[in-house]
Amino acid sequence: MSFATFAQRRVLSSSSSILGRRSMVTVGDLSKRVKIASTDSNTNGTASLTLVLRAGSRYESAPGVANVLKNFSFKTNTDQSALVTVRTAEQLGGTLSATLTREHLLLSAEFLKGDEEVFLSLLSKSLFSTLSAHELAEDVIPQVALESNQIASDPATTAVETAHKLAFRSGLGNSLFASALEPVTLNAVRDLYKQARSSQVALIGTGIPFETLKTLAEPYFGDELDIKFEGTGGKAVEAPKALEKSKYFGGEERQAIDLHTLDVPGVAPTLVIAYGSTTPSTPNTYFENLVLANLLGSSTSPTIKRIPGSSPVATAIAGVEGSSASSFVATYSDASLLVVEVQAPGSERLSVVGAEVVKGLKGLKTVSKDQLKAAVAKAKFEVASKSETAAGLVELVVPQVFSGKVATLEESYKALDAITPESISKVLASFLKSKPTVVSIARLSQMKYAEELGL
């Protein structure tokens, strides 16, 4: 093949790709209560629906309330039992799931195209759960306890949860999981559920054209929904509960690792270093944070296996065999948390790696054009990859859906390209000037304190 032929094909391929970027998600109002968003870019034979409720852990009145509510998902409602709901989904080959974040509770259904109305009905009925005491005792509490026990033996997740608690204390600091030391009352769960239902909710569809979804959803999520709410003692739609503005604190916490779990694959002494910002999020905040995370990098996903990456985080741990590190920025509506998570086979090695990571963070005073170019390219790949899966699309859409507009891929790329070395250096500096949040889960007699690590 001649170079000219190759180049021509490459141009045609690029043109097709760009055309596919222009319309990712359409957003509109189904009623005063329900915001609707959809994309039909998914060309395979499946579709998905996700109901978004403002019932994340930051809204709970006591620890564990949001987690208990999540585990009540798809249980008995005023129309049918949990068994009927599950069997209906199973017979059509569909799956139902619930995901809790710090700001939202997501109820999702994935199914074959053509079954949209059945799963719209199931999701609509999930807004009228009975939240009964017997289901709490028989089904919900055992599942809540199982999740809590699993997290207790997972130092990585425990460290991130603890870091949020140290960073924000309440609100965003509330854990995604319940604790055996903090009892949850059914009335508290019902209050959170009632509060979430009274606020505006969103319905996100993938693999379904917008107008089709709007027509199909009208009988289940249109004005009739308000009538049904009022008939069951619900309130007319109202503004979401005003939240106390997030405040960042920081600090250090050291926890002894259970030495009996070290033989479990994936379990290792863990160090989390985090920095917070309480600057309200703007449309560009997500993209800046995404580039920053890719700039700092990760040792767990090099471009070529067994060849270490060149990012600051990957470089910092390169000399300690068996260690790993990753970075991400958790972006919320009114705050962000930059997190670097480090693991090593042994607490003494973790101390060494931790000190090197701190040096790497502090040494990144300025960002070169080449460093930024690589980070932006990785960020674009991450956004593009997410836009090609149902779960990824939902992740991209949820933070934007209540604003009424979701950025297309073309707009996302434009926002990423607009980031300069100076602007990303400023973002990093704004994080690093805050008091660090440090969590160590290790053999404490061998683990250095934060100031000994250089913090």
Write the pLDDT tens digit of every residue in 209-232.
999 999 999 999 987 777 676 655
Is pLDDT larger for residue 132 or for residue 227?
A: 132
Indicate whether 138 pLDDT > 80: yes
What percent of the chain stands above pLDDT 90? 67
- SS3 state at 81: coil
CA pair distance 11, 36, nearest whole angstrom: 36
| pLDDT computed for residue 323 by the predictor | 86
pTM above 0.85, yes or no: yes
Indicate whether 261 pLDDT > 80: no
Asked if residues 164 and 332 have their Cβ atoms less than 8 Å apart, the reply is no
| pLDDT computed for residue 376 by the predictor | 95
Strand order in the sheet with 270-277: 251-256, 437-442, 270-277, 336-343, 324-331
Encoding tokens for residue 76?
A: 């008995």
Query: Would you give the DSSP letter of residue 275?
Result: E
Asked if residues 98 and 109 have their Cβ atoms less than 8 Å apart, the reply is no
Position 101, amino acid: T
Using CA of residue 180, residue 181, residue 187, residue 191, what is the dihedral sign? negative
| pLDDT computed for residue 6 by the predictor | 37
Bridge partners (DSSP) of residue 338 are: 275, 329
CA pair distance 217, 36, nearest whole angstrom: 9
**Residue ranges in 58-154 assigned as alpha helix (H):** 65-71, 82-91, 116-125, 133-135, 141-152
Asked if residues 156 and 36 have their Cβ atoms less than 8 Å apart, the reply is no
Which string of DSSP letters, residue by residue, matches 148-203? Answer: HHHHHT-HHHHHHHHHHHHHHSSGGGS-SS--TTS---HHHHHHHHHHHHHS-EEE
Is pLDDT larger for residue 69 or for residue 41?
A: 69
Spatial CA neighbour of 275 closest among 431, 48, 73, 410: 431
| pLDDT computed for residue 365 by the predictor | 81
Query: What is the per-residue pLDDT across 10-68, written as a single tens digit (0 to 9) for each?
Result: 333 333 333 344 446 889 998 888 999 998 765 578 999 999 999 999 999 999 999 99
| pLDDT computed for residue 259 by the predictor | 83
Contacts of 299 (CB under 8 A, 6+ apart): 308, 309, 313, 314, 317, 318, 323, 324, 325, 326
| pLDDT computed for residue 23 by the predictor | 47
Rounded to the nearest angstrom, the gap between the alpha carbon of residue 346 and the centroid of all alpha carbons in its chain is 30
Of 7-16, 41-50, 306-315, 322-331, the least confident: 7-16
Indicate whether 182 pLDDT > 50: yes
Query: What is the per-residue pLDDT across 352-382, written as a single tens digit (0 to 9) for each?
Result: 999 999 998 988 888 889 999 999 999 999 9
Query: What is the per-residue pLDDT across 379-436, written as a single tens digit (0 to 9) for each?
Result: 999 999 998 888 999 999 999 998 888 888 899 999 999 999 999 999 999 999 999 9
Query: Would you give the DSSP letter of residue 128?
Result: G
Of 3-17, 116-130, 221-235, 243-257, the least confident: 3-17
- In Å, how far are 112, 237, 394, 395, 424 from 73, measured between CA atoms? 21, 21, 18, 19, 40
- Please compute the mean of the pLDDT values over residues 251-257 and round it to a whole number: 95
| pLDDT computed for residue 190 by the predictor | 95
Residue keyed to tokens 């434009």 = 414
Average of per-residue pLDDT values in the chain: 87
CA pair distance 129, 119, nearest whole angstrom: 16
| pLDDT computed for residue 364 by the predictor | 85
